[in-house]
């Protein structure tokens, strides 16, 4: 793994060097920024115009976290760190005439300590086509992230990136210095840069503005406290309702319920009911006449109540969503997705003031109807 630290920046530098073959290095680097080829304006104005061009003329896509690798040579407690960032967000961008992928992105995920971490930025990746739709790439990210352990102050993120993909689906890897982790994420792009500005016709399967659905879910949990007090992953249920403000933006309210056992040193001590109530704003993108995907962000309220006992705790927390919807007809829906919530409870763990953080990830599949 240590070799990656040497190879990844060198690979990115080599990519930029290829672009510098017919120009100076600085000129080649400037061409990778959003304001490339906008020489008639000042530098910052050119970058702003380039960002607006990406937003207005780019295609939309879903961004999801895949994995956070904590190298054994750096993390002796790696089993206690969160390796699954989950979460989701949006990107907008395009492939330019030189096969460079340029995109704006914003998404939120669960960090190594099971806390929400948003990140926003710009990414440039040069792509090489290998065979048919298969391609690889290398480039960088310029952005900012916000972490609880840094008091939510913006942290600049100039990071190297390598990628591999098939068609409109890409996977990326970056190395994050300071944290010394390898972060993997993915984008699934659409061809909606024209269609999103055209109102849905009355004949569209997504023309109806209200949806209600029920789903079965699996609430995956992880390390609940740093001192080994754990919670089981279990099945549950979800009921949700959406109201579309326009063709792409919706408000959703959902409620979930599941039951879990807590364990002290591996031995079950109590049974609990876990309920959550979440209100989110969602952006939906169309992949076809009958498929669309969404990312959402909002706020939730959760309760953790002991079965057969009197103890009850509550928590207000952020909620992050990613999912997809299939519309077999105008009135029927099949939904699947991930809800990531961040409740924190006091007084649950037997070790006193240790925060109980079940880190629930709700994976759901269900059906409903539109009206």
Q: Provide the annotated active-site residues.
A: 70, 111-112
Query: Residue 218's beta-bridge partner residues?
Result: 235, 363
Residue 188's nearest CA partner among 84, 279, 96, 323 is: 323
Residue 254's nearest CA partner among 286, 206, 302 is: 302
Per-residue DSSP letters for 193-207?
Answer: TTGGGSPPPTTSTT-
- Could you give phi then psi for residue 246, rounded to 5 degrees? -145, -165
Cα–Cα dist 63/121, whole Å: 12
> Which residue do the tokens 């319920």 mark?
257
Alpha carbon distance, N-terminus to C-terminus of the chain: 53
CB 316 within 8 A of CB 301: yes
Under 8 Å CB-to-CB from 46, ≥6 apart: which residues?
Answer: 35, 38, 39
CB 70 within 8 A of CB 112: yes
- 10 Å Cβ neighbour count for 67? 14
Counting beta carbons within 10 angstroms of the beta carbon of residue 170, is it exposed (0 to 12), middle (13 to 18) or buried (19 or more)? buried
Handedness of CA 353, 316, 90, 289 (dihedral sign): positive
CB 292 within 8 A of CB 286: yes
User: What's the half-sphere exposure (Cβ side, CA atoms, 13 Å) at 207?
Assistant: 8
Under 8 Å CB-to-CB from 258, ≥6 apart: which residues?
Answer: 217, 219, 234, 235, 236, 237, 273, 274
338: its two tokens: 């991930």
């Amino acid at each position: 793994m240590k070799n990656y630290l040497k190879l990844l920046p060198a690979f990115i530098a080599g990519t930029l060097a290829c672009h510098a073959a017919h120009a100076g290095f600085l000129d080649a680097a400037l061409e990778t920024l959003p304001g490339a080829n906008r020489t008639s304006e000042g530098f910052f104005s050119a970058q702003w115009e380039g960002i607006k061009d990406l937003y207005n003329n780019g295609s939309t896509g879903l961004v999801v976290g895949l994995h956070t690798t904590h190298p054994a040579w750096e993390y002796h407690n790696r089993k206690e760190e969160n390796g699954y960032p989950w979460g989701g967000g949006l990107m907008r961008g395009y492939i330019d005439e030189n096969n460079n992928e340029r995109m704006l992105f914003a998404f939120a995920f669960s960090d190594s300590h099971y806390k929400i971490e948003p990140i926003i930025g710009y990414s440039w990746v040069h792509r090489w086509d290998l065979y048919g739709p298969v391609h690889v790439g290398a480039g960088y990210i310029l952005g900012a992230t916000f972490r609880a352990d840094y008091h939510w102050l913006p942290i600049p993120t100039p990071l190297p990136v390598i990628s591999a993909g098939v068609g409109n689906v890409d996977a990326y890897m970056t190395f994050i210095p300071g944290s010394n982790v390898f972060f993997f994420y993915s984008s699934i792009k659409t061809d909606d840069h024209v269609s999103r500005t055209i109102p849905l016709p009355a004949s569209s399967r997504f023309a109806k503005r209200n949806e209600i659905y029920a789903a079965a879910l699996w609430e995956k949990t992880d390390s609940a406290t740093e001192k080994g007090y754990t919670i089981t992953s279990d099945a549950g249920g979800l009921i949700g309702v959406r109201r579309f403000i326009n063709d792409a933006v919706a408000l959703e309210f959902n409620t979930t319920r599941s039951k879990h056992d807590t364990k002290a040193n591996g031995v079950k001590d109590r049974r609990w009911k876990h309920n959550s109530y979440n209100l989110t704003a969602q952006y939906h993108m169309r992949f076809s006449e009958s498929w669309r995907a969404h990312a959402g962000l909002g706020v939730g309220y959760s309760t953790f109540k002991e079965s057969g006992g009197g103890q009850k705790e509550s928590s207000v927390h952020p909620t992050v969503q990613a999912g997809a919807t299939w519309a077999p007809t105008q009135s029927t829906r099949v939904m699947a997705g991930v809800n990531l919530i961040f409740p924190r409870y006091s007084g649950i763990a037997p070790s006193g003031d240790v925060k109980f953080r079940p880190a629930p990830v709700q994976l759901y599949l269900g059906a409903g109807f539109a009206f």
